[in-house]
């Protein structure tokens, strides 16, 4: 089984925190869609022996695309790959794009999962983040999606925002769980290079939230998840039972996938590959019959490090017996030595299985460094 990721690198405007590749130029959408379909056809010789079980439209803002353009991209995928009849097909969307007609048409062309970028249920915070919707728009978009037949709805929220106290964050979580969602993703606000938020911070216009507040808000997320019958199955993700994001889960268990579009990444046959992150260069390259892919063949060390890093992100963790089978007993010895240095409240062992506690998940980056040196 494999997946396909389609990157849609267009936004009406950039949010202050976003470092994903996107541009606020809509005039290139038509040429981009044509180039994208050509890339899909050009690369149809990759993963030909695999069934595609997930398709994910990410961005950027995929919901900026007209229905006909999304349908055309899907048709090209179906024409060139074997797609499972029950494939999970996700579209990332912004609340302001999700009117009833658009939602109904998405259902008609085969989109069966929505990932709605809400980020906050507080209007002042949304304005600060430079989101284009209100809290009312956010709530109404989820209700409209349910009314139009979507039962698999995910929403995104951001915590660790200066000025948002813990009680206010908990109230936002309560609002989220009052809605007909099956999946919730919560991310800590990060200050990434080359973002407006990075500039604000450098200029003294924004002061990051302290680590303790971020930890408490993350633990509140974990607690509310359990209270509402959801499973906290990955650091930033929780869902109803059996409603995990099948596409994102494939990244964490190192399932092969192809990424199409500028800036998109792929993993297949032990190779990591990524497209040029420039729409104009991408379109030009495709028009000249040149797929602008950079590739890297992973070493055994790379694969080991990815296995540890990705496994510890999930509630399932890593299995020492499997590590030994794939990488040898020496690696298991190294991992056990790393575990012995950790505080007991950061991890849990169940036989050969090692996973992180919620507190451990919050500081997972530093723990992973201990595990892989």
What local confidence, expressed as pLDDT, does residue 253 receive?
87
Joined tokens for residue 148: 């139009």
The dihedral sign for the CA sequence 156, 15, 73, 289: negative
pLDDT < 70 stretches in the chain: 1, 373
Residue 186, C-beta contacts closer than 8 angstroms, at least 6 positions apart: 156, 157, 158, 159, 218, 221, 236, 238
What local confidence, expressed as pLDDT, does residue 1 receive?
64
Contact status, residue 17 vs residue 271, Cβ threshold 8 Å: no
CA nearest to 359, candidates 177, 218, 245: 218
Burial of 139 (0-12, 13-18, 19+ CB in 10 A): middle
Report how far residue 365's alpha carbon sits from residue 5's, in angstroms, rounded to the nearest whole number.
25
Report how far residue 62's alpha carbon sits from residue 68's, in angstroms, rounded to the nearest whole number.
13
Judge whether 2-252 and 300-372 match in fold: no
Helix runs in the chain, H state only = 29-42, 67-80, 100-109, 123-129, 135-147, 166-177, 196-202, 211-227, 246-252, 279-287, 300-311, 320-327, 329-340, 358-362, 364-372
Whether this model's pTM surpasses 0.85: yes
Report how far residue 81's alpha carbon sits from residue 49's, in angstroms, rounded to the nearest whole number.
9
Main-chain dihedrals φ then ψ at residue 265, nearest 5 degrees: -105, 155
Joined tokens for residue 125: 């915070």
Report how far residue 319's alpha carbon sits from residue 316's, in angstroms, rounded to the nearest whole number.
9
Q: Where are the domains positioned within the chain? A: 2-252, 300-372
What local confidence, expressed as pLDDT, does residue 372 receive?
82
What local confidence, expressed as pLDDT, does residue 24 receive?
83
Joined tokens for residue 274: 């990524």
DSSP 8-state class, residue 148: T
CA distances from 177 to 142, 174, 185, 238, 252 (A): 12, 5, 12, 11, 25
Report how far residue 36's alpha carbon sits from residue 6's, in angstroms, rounded to the nearest whole number.
9
**Secondary structure class of 334 (helix, strand, coil):** helix
CA dihedral 218, 167, 172, 363 (to 10 degrees): -10
Partners of 271 in beta bridges:
268, 297
Q: What topology is assigned to 2-252 in CATH?
A: TIM Barrel (3.20.20)
Indicate the pairing of strand 2-8 with strand 257-260: parallel
Contact status, residue 234 vs residue 248, Cβ threshold 8 Å: yes
Task: Please provide the CATH number assigned to the domain covering 300-372.
Answer: 1.10.10.920
Report how far residue 8's alpha carbon sits from residue 11's, in angstroms, rounded to the nearest whole number.
9
CA nearest to 76, candidates 50, 104, 42, 51: 42
Report how far residue 206's alpha carbon sits from residue 203's, in angstroms, rounded to the nearest whole number.
8
Describe the crossing of helices 211-227 and 166-177 by its angle, rounded to 10 degrees.
Answer: 30
């Amino acid at each position: 089984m494999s997946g396909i990721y389609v990157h849609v690198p267009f936004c009406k405007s950039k949010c202050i925190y976003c470092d994903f590749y996107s541009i606020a130029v809509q005039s290139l959408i038509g040429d981009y869609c044509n180039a994208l379909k050509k890339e899909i056809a050009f690369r149809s010789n990759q993963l030909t022996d695999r069934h595609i079980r997930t398709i994910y439209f990410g961005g950027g803002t995929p919901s900026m695309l007209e229905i006909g353009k999304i349908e055309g991209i899907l048709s090209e995928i179906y024409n060139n790959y074997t797609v499972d009849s029950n494939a999970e097909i996700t579209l990332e969307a912004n609340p302001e794009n999700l009117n009833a007609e658009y939602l109904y048409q998405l259902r008609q062309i085969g989109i069966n999962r929505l990932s709605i970028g809400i980020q906050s249920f507080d209007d002042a915070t949304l304005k600060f983040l430079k989101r284009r919707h209100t809290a009312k728009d956010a709530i109404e978009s989820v209700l409209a999606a349910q009314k139009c037949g979507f039962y698999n709805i995910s929403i995104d929220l951001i915590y660790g925002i200066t000025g948002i106290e813990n009680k206010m964050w908990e109230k936002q979580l309560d609002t989220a769980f009052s809605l007909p969602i099956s999946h919730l993703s919560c991310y800590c606000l990060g200050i990434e290079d080359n973002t407006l938020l990075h500039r604000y911070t450098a200029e003294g216009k924004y002061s990051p939230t302290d680590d303790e507040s971020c930890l408490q808000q993350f633990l509140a997320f974990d607690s509310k998840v359990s209270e509402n019958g959801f499973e906290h199955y990955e650091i930033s993700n929780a869902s109803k039972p059996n409603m995990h994001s099948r596409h994102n889960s494939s990244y964490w268990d190192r399932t092969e996938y192809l990424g199409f579009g500028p800036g998109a990444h792929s993993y297949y046959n032990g190779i990591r590959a990524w497209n040029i992150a420039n729409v104009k260069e991408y379109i030009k390259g495709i028009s000249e019959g040149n797929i602008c892919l950079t590739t890297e063949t992973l070493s055994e060390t790379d694969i080991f490090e990815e296995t540890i890093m990705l496994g510890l992100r999930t509630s399932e963790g890593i299995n020492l017996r499997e590590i030994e089978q794939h990488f040898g007993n020496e690696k298991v010895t190294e991992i056990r030595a790393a575990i012995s240095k950790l505080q007991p409240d950061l991890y849990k062992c169940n036989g050969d299985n090692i996973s992180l506690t919620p507190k451990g998940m919050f500081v997972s980056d530093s723990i992973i460094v201990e595990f892989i040196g």
